[in-house]
Amino acid sequence: MKITIVQPDILWENKTGNLLKLESMLKEVSGKTDLVILPEMFNTGFSMNAEELFEYKDSDTFVWMQNISREKKFAVCGSYIIKDGTHFYNRFVFVTPDKSSFFYDKRHLFSIGGENTKYQSGKRRKIFKYKGYRINVIICYDLRFPVWSRNRNDYDLLICVANWPDSRRQVWNTLLKARAIENQCYVAGVNRVGNDNTDNHYAGESVILDPRGRIITVVEEYEEGIATGVISLSELNDFRMKFPVWKDADDFTINL
């Protein structure tokens, strides 16, 4: 499967501008990839202004994702601000060309930045299938909590979308590799570049890793850009059979 990771400089709270920018960036991969991954809050930046920026689950950004997916012939995913019932969520949305869709609500909210005061925490892991791959999803701060993303022999690709600041870039790189190695899975980590209105600076370093933690492809640091890498389910399964770490893993459940 071909995966394209997209690393934009997100315009602060400017949905129209961000979607136009992303459309331009995606022109070169139309019909040439299977899956496009956008960062966390790709249409606004990591904003706590949920009351002004929220959308309902089938609103403008979702329709944009459906149109892009159908016209460009690839699945597209990323997170943005959703209001569902009376609560706001930092919600990851995955849309396929045949209009199938899946979503995941961020579990670990970044309390240091006040995210927990604006958004509701997700309650469930979400693992779904696309082109034969079992896919698990986490959002930014979730990456720090390995129990939540522990592979129970139930997924092949871990997607992490983020607005991860430059000041903690070493942590980003280290944890992405750790999640790949400990879970014997492919990892796609997608971050942004540029500055936001809360004085955070972003290095990007969006990357696709193999189950040994080796880089398949990476986007240039501090630069807007895209990169496409190929992952192989047969190679993954062969590696797991030859080095079956998963057989010795501890069994557990997560109490919510």
The catalytic residues are 40, 106, 140
Structure tokens at 93: 């949305």
Residue 209 contacts residue 190 (beta carbons within 8 Å) = no
**Residue corresponding to tokens 């129970």:** 152
